Amino acid sequence: MRILVTGGAGFIGSNFVRRTLETRPDVSVVVLDALTYAGSLSNLSGLLGKYEFVEGNILNSALVDSLVSRVDQVVHFAAESHNDNSLKSPKPFIDTNILGTYELIQACVKHDVKFHHISTDEVFGDLPLSGSEKFTAETPYNPSSPYSSSKAASDLLVRAWVRSFGLKATISNCSNNFGPYQHEEKLIPRMIGLIASGKKPELYGNGANVRDWIHVDDHNDGVWAILERGVVGRTYLLGADNQRSNLEVVQVLLRIMGKPEDFISFIEDRPGHDLRYAIDASATEAELGWKPVRGNFEERLAETVEWYLGRLNLPKD
């Protein structure tokens, strides 16, 4: 099997490439990545020679067309992924997330290549802070930010291309990922960096907003379950049933890093800040036999802290 991984030099994509090469030696991997501020070849260190890297933009139709024509399956991670950036400068989100997805699905229809679209639970909007409601595949779309609305738009393009043009696509909507190689702009790496340099971690608002955390390897194992056993046209929700307030996450980090639990700055809130995300992944688990297995959040977070502290001492390339 030959796969084209877009965004394979970013956080989740690079973990996907690493895990694929470790667990599926028969799969040949081509990575297409524009190496924006969020992507780095250092995320793929140690894998040189085991995959093919193409530096390029998913908006480049000729390049996309020629790469798609060489593979059996596209796994589409490439995106502008940070909500705060989307609030300051939305245009790159429209370009990459919507128009970039358009280029890929056009090429997949033309060459009859399978397409897996990586998306987010943020397309559903948010849930009230208190309550037990969770997102399912039937939850109506109601995105709040330029980022989440551009991801919602891309999901809808994929669905329309399945129905109108016979695109052989699957979609997954996953909750917040954590683990190695995440960009320092995101909550967990940013807080680790601040605490490590003796500064207080900065929580938006009162820190009560809730995210549903999944280890990146559990997400990527879910993606492989979909690639191997998913049904064309279906949407699969991926999550690990692990809701925590941002304050709780930061307090765990402070404990791990030996600082008092009140060593925190509360700063101005994110505009339109989604209150709570929660994924009900039971339908995916029942259909595909996939289950998140990296369960102990505190232990996984301690490993993640250790990984980032190690990386802080490494030269960047």
Minimal distance, residue 255 CB to ligand TDX, in Å: 18
Token representation of residue 182: 């995440």
Can residue 176 be called a binding residue for ligand TDX (CB under 6 A)? yes
Choose among 251, 272, 244: nearest CA to 201.
Answer: 251
Minimal distance, residue 40 CB to ligand NAD, in Å: 7
Can residue 9 be called a binding residue for ligand NAD (CB under 6 A)? yes
Can residue 177 be called a binding residue for ligand NAD (CB under 6 A)? yes
Active site residue 306: no
Can residue 226 be called a binding residue for ligand NAD (CB under 6 A)? no
CA distance 99 to 120: 17
Say which amino acid occupies 165. F
CA distance 317 to 299: 29
Strands 210-215 and 243-245, bridge-based pairing: antiparallel
Nearest CB to ligand TDX, comparing residues 103 and 122: 122
CA distance 313 to 317: 13
Torsion angle in degrees (nearest 10) through CA of 212, 216, 221, 225: 50
CA distance 190 to 208: 18
Whether 31 contacts 53, CB under 8 Å: yes
Token representation of residue 46: 């140690």
Pattern 132-171, ligand TDX, x by CB under 6 A = ----------------------------------------
Q: Choose, by CB under 6 A, the member of 4, 13, 225, 300 that binds ligand NAD.
A: 13
Can residue 33 be called a binding residue for ligand NAD (CB under 6 A)? yes
* Residue corresponding to tokens 């995916």: 284
Q: Choose, by CB under 6 A, the member of 203, 227, 240, 281 that binds ligand TDX.
A: 203
Say which amino acid occupies 198. G
Helix or strand holding residue 265 (H, E): strand 265-267
Can residue 78 be called a binding residue for ligand NAD (CB under 6 A)? yes
Nearest CB to ligand NAD, comparing residues 87 and 198: 87
Nearest CB to ligand NAD, comparing residues 42 and 263: 42
Of the candidates 33, 80, 103, 121, the residue annotated as catalytic is: 121
Residue 221 CA, distance from chain mean position: 13
Segment 82 to 111, residues that bind ligand NAD, using CB under 6 A:
96, 100
Q: Choose, by CB under 6 A, the member of 29, 30, 51, 57 that binds ligand NAD.
A: 57
Active site residue 269: no
| φ, ψ dihedrals at 129, nearest 5° | -60, -45
Can residue 300 be called a binding residue for ligand NAD (CB under 6 A)? no
Active site residue 181: no
Nearest CB to ligand TDX, comparing residues 17 and 68: 17
Q: Which positions touch ligand TDX (CB under 6 A)?
A: 81-83, 120, 122, 176, 186-187, 190, 202-204, 209, 211, 246, 270
